[in-house]
Amino acid sequence: MYCIETHDLCYRFSKEQSILNRINLQVPTGSIFGFLGPNGAGKTTTLRLLLGLLKKQDGSISIFGKDLAKNRINILRNTGSMIESPSLYGHLSATENLQIQQVMYQCAPSRISEVLEIVGLSHTGRKKTAQFSLGMKQRLSIAIALLHNPSLLILDEPTNGLDPNGIIEIRELLKKINAEQQITMVISSHLLSEIEKLVTHIGIINKGELLFQGTLSQLQTRQNLNAGFLFRTNNNAKALTIIMNNGWEATEQNEFLYLPTTDDLAIASLNRQMVQAGIEVYRMVQQQNDLESIFINLVK
Amino acid sequence: MNFLYCFKAEWIKKRRSLAAWLVIIGGFFTPAIITCAAIYRSEATRKALLKPDFWNKHWLASWDTIAMFLLPMGVILATSLVTQVEFKNNTWKQLHTTPQSYTRLFLAKLAVILTMLLQFLVIFSVGTYLSGILPSLIISNASWPTGAIPYQKIFSDSVFFFVDCLPIVAIQFLLSLQFKNFLVPVGGGMALWITSMVSLSWKYSYLVPFSQGALFYLKTSGRISKDLPVHEVALLYFTVITGISYILYITKKEKG
C-alpha cells in the first residue's frame, strides 16, 4: 500500500524549461522515504506539487489513496510539512506560532506544550522566533509539522544549516517519531550521507527524472552488481588479453581496464600473470560501492 | 465555524505587530493633539465648552486631519502590513498547506483588516470624547461641555467613513497579495492618494479611488454643497476590486 503515488507527473515553468518529467513516485505507507538529488534536480518542485502549492500540469497525484486535486483539504488535514526554509512569524513566540496552527487544525491546545517538549524548545518562553538560531527555527518548524498528529510528514531538507550535533538530534527525533507513531515520512536532501542512516526507502532524482526508487538494500544490490576492479598498466592491450584468457570480460574506461569482479583470488592471479608477462601494473583500484558513489554514479 | 478559526488565527498574527500599534496610536493621535491644543488655548477652550454645539464642532475638528490625510495613510499602511506578513515571514507555503479553503483564508485576512478599521473608528471616537472632556478637567474654571453629544451623527459619520475607506482597503489588499515587495502596495497607495487629493476640485472627483473619505468630510463639514454618490461609488469599487483580488488570489499558480 502506498501512501503517496504519482503517475507521470510533469511540471515545466515554460515550454523550453521542463522541471519534472514523468515522475512515478511510490512512497510505501509507514516508510521513511529519502528523496535525494543534487540542487536543482526537482525535489522541492515535486514536494510542492504533493502539497498543492504548485498547480499540477500533467499526471496525477494520489495521497492516502485519494486524488489530491479533489481531496486537498482532507489530505492536508493529515499531512505535516516543512518546505525549504522555516516558515515562522518572526514577531511572535514559539507558542504563538504553534497557536496559529493549533487553531487552524483544531487540535487540542495541550499539543502545543507536547510538541515543544519533543523538539526541546519548551524553555523559549516569550522570545520572538526572529531571535531564534537557525537550528531552533528548524526544530520549531518540525514541531509545527507534528502538531496535529499527521499520518504523513513531508520535510524538505530539514537538516539544512544545522551543525553535526543538530543533524544527529533531528535524525534521532524523526526516527523516534516514525517508530512510535508509524508516520510516513518523505525527507528530501541533496546529501545521501545525511539521510542514509535514517531512511528505509530511497528515491533518486536528477534533472527532473526519477532515476531510482526502492529500499536501501535494493540500491545496495544494484551497486554490488556494478562493483569491480580497475587496472592501470603500461600495456592495457596486453593486460586485456590476459584477462580474457582467464575467462573474464573487461572493458576499457579511459586509461583503465574495468573488471566486473571483486573476487580477491581472481584479482591476485591476474596481477601475478600480468607481472610475469612483463606488464607494469601501476594501479589496482576497487570501484567504490558505498551509497554516496552510487548516488554520484546515478546523477552523473 | 471554520471561518472563525481562520479569523482567530489571522488575529493572533497581528499581535505586537506594527499594524496593531498603528490602529491604537493612530486612533488616539489626533485627539491627543487636540487635547494639548485645547489646554494651550485655555481661554478659547473655556468659551467653546459653553457653546451648545460644542460636540458637533469638536467632532468635525477631530476629523479634519484624519479624513484627509491620517486615515488614508493609516489604512494604506495597516492593510499592506497585515497582508504582507506572509511575504515578510515566508509563510504563504505554511498557510496554504493548512486544511482550509483558499476562499476562507482570503476572507479571514480581509475580515481582520476590516475589523481593525472598525477598531480604529471606535478608538478614535473614544479618543475624541476624552479630548472633549479632559480640557474641562485640566483647565481651571472651565465648565463641563454643556451641549448634548450627537451620538447619532457620530455613529452615522463613522459608518460612512468606514464605507468610504473600503476602496483603499480593497486596492491595498489586492496589491499586497500580488506583490512581494512592500514598496509596491505602499507606493501605489500613496500615488493614488495624491491623485485623489489633486482631483478633489474636479467635478468627477468622486470617481477617483481614495477620494471618497475626503469628499464626505468636505460635505459633512459644509465645505462643499453638492450631493455626490461617494458611498455608493465606494461600495461599488470595494465589491469589484475585492472580486478581482479574489480571482487573482485563487488562480495564482504558485501558492508559496
pLDDT digits (tens, 9 = 90+) for B197-222: 999 999 999 999 999 999 999 999 99
pLDDT score at A288: 64
The model's pLDDT over B212-255, given as tens digits with 9 standing for 90+, comes to 999 999 999 998 888 899 999 999 999 999 999 999 999 998 88
Q: Which chain B positions have a beta carbon within 8 Å of A85's beta carbon? A: 90
The model's pLDDT over A182-227, given as tens digits with 9 standing for 90+, comes to 899 999 998 787 788 889 999 999 999 999 999 988 887 777 666 7
Q: Where are the domain boundaries for CATH 3.30.70 in chain A?
A: 227-299
Q: Of B16, B90, B256, which has the smallest distance from its Cβ to A91's Cβ?
A: B16
Q: Of A53, A83, A89, which has the smallest distance from its Cβ to B85's Cβ?
A: A89
What is the biggest distance separating any 2 CA atoms in chain B, rounded to whole angstroms? 68
| CATH T-level assignment (fold) for domain A227-299 | Alpha-Beta Plaits (3.30.70)
Which amino acid would we find at residue A259? L
Nearest-CA distance A12 → chain B (Å): 12
Angle formed at CA B252 by CA A27 and CA A97, multiple of 5 degrees:
65
Question: What's the count of helices (H) and strands (E) in chain A, helices before strands?
Answer: 11, 15
Q: Please measure the distance between the N-terminal and C-terminal CA atoms of chain B and give it in whole angstroms.
A: 25
By three-state DSSP, how is residue A252 classified? Answer: strand
- Distance of alpha carbon B27 from alpha carbon B131, whole angstroms: 12
The model's pLDDT over B106-129, given as tens digits with 9 standing for 90+, comes to 999 999 999 999 999 999 999 999
Residues A49-64, mean pLDDT to the nearest whole number? 95
pLDDT score at A300: 67
CATH for the stretch A2-214: 3.40.50.300
Quote the percentage of chain A above a pLDDT of 90: 63
* Res A289 pLDDT > 80: no
Q: Which residue of A has its CA nearest to B256?
A: A53
pLDDT score at B250: 96
Residues A245-251, mean pLDDT to the nearest whole number? 88
Closest CA to A1 of A52, A62, A59: A62
Quote the percentage of chain B above a pLDDT of 70: 100
Range with lowest mean pLDDT among A43-57, A189-203, B123-137: A189-203
pLDDT tier, B26 (very low <50, low <70, confident <90, very high otherwise): very high
pLDDT score at A229: 86
pLDDT tier, B1 (very low <50, low <70, confident <90, very high otherwise): low
Closest CA to B27 of B112, B116, B114: B116
Mean of the per-residue pLDDT values of chain A: 90
Burial A129-140 (b: 16+ CB within 10 A, else e): beebeebbbbbb
Range with lowest mean pLDDT among A96-110, A127-141, A252-266, B19-33: A252-266
pLDDT tier, B134 (very low <50, low <70, confident <90, very high otherwise): very high
pLDDT score at A42: 94
CB contact under 8 A, A53 and B96: yes
Q: Which chain B positions have a beta carbon within 8 Å of A89's beta carbon? A: 13, 85, 89, 91
* Res A65 pLDDT > 70: yes
Nearest-CA distance B98 → chain A (Å): 6
Asked if residue B164 lies in contact with residue B63, where contact means CB atoms within 8 angstroms, the answer is no
Q: Which residue of B has its CA nearest to A130?
A: B89
- Distance of alpha carbon A90 from alpha carbon B132, whole angstroms: 40
Residues of A with CB under 8 A from a CB of B: 48, 51-55, 73-74, 76-77, 79, 81, 83-85, 87-92, 96, 99-101, 103-106, 144
pLDDT score at A291: 64
B181 touches chain A (CB under 8 A): no
Q: Which chain A positions have a beta carbon within 8 Å of B97's beta carbon? A: 51-53, 76, 79, 81, 83
* Structure-derived torsion over alpha carbons of residues A46, A50, A55, A58, reported in degrees to the nearest 10: 70
pLDDT score at A33: 96
CB contact under 8 A, A92 and B254: no
B103 touches chain A (CB under 8 A): no
Q: Which chain B positions have a beta carbon within 8 Å of A79's beta carbon? A: 97
Q: Which residue of B has its CA nearest to A51?
A: B97
pLDDT tier, A273 (very low <50, low <70, confident <90, very high otherwise): very high
Q: Where are the domain boundaries for CATH 3.40.50.300 in chain A?
A: 2-214
Q: Which chain B positions have a beta carbon within 8 Å of A73's beta carbon? A: 99-101
pLDDT tier, B177 (very low <50, low <70, confident <90, very high otherwise): very high
Q: Which residue of B has its CA nearest to A11?
A: B253
Q: Of B91, B97, B256, which has the smallest distance from its Cβ to A89's Cβ?
A: B91
CA-atom Rg of chain A in angstroms:
24
pLDDT score at A176: 86
What ipTM was assigned to the predicted interfaces of this complex? 0.91
- Distance of alpha carbon B174 from alpha carbon B19, whole angstroms: 17
CB contact under 8 A, A103 and B5: yes
By three-state DSSP, how is residue A268 classified? Answer: helix
